[in-house]
Structure 1
């Protein structure tokens, strides 16, 4: 992994997570554990309303965490209840935290290549509905990263399990002097919790 990203990961692993929050995160650890023990591929689809901020941050950190902890056969996805675009500040934040990011297409809904290791396949980031053909159709965990999607999507077709792990929207800081810091902090918060989830998987 890139050196600056490893520095960010060290920050993630030093963050405190409350016992209450650990209880919220446990079902996703258990889902990953079951798939891993059964030698089945692990598909995670992080879902938010617009698939523009929190779901992308979750998708990216989950793919990195899987690689970091040697949990192979993991593919992380994201989707929304509607399609918009990946918010540019998310890409900017991840670049500042050590990722290599390149825009592959320049449209209203651009496609981004997000690399975390020079030798590993990049994450492909773009906004899409959760049931977009790019995403898995069965056997996945649907992880609801915002309360609107959690409340508005009681049933996700094809999901083995639906797990709410919601985060506050960094969008609240848009057009304010605090925007950069809020996005940085939200990315670290999401990353820390995702890394905690993966650190609890017992590997045999």
Structure 2
């Protein structure tokens, strides 16, 4: 009988504790401070670069840049660096700000072969090459492409990309269109000795 009373008392105590836990409100939390009246969240910088900023920056890097043009809906800038012409396609654009650029150059020459393009793709990184066989009466071509994603921060973030492209573009031309070394200048003939005096 005594054990029954003790057990009943324990059960009653547990029940009371449970009821108290369910009815006691949780600790009050400090409410978040309301936003200041009239405040506006800062607008994040857009990803990409504008055509005008890109063109001006390329010019500052020694490039010659033609006005923006388009071909079948693809927008691009025609650029010349180190005597080599190439295009930069403007992609993933919202109005005038583009976050995806493709550097591209095409070569056409009878010396271009599929094997050379395959060797280029095997041995080089970053710039890929595409082989385009010759059409009737023409010569084969190879297209170099270098894709770049642009974040916020202006065109200066492209400094390293442009340096890689310029170096590999020059290498691309040398590899696919090798030219013989210029002939050495002929050695000038020796000046004949003056005849002895009195003859």
- The TM-score normalised by the length of structure 2 is 0.29
User: In terms of Rg, which structure is larger?
Assistant: 2
**Which structure's residues are more often helix, by fraction?**
1
**Which structure's residues are more often strand, by fraction?**
2
Greater relative contact order (Cα 8 A, min sep 6): structure 1 or 2?
A: 1
- The TM-score normalised by the length of structure 1 is 0.29
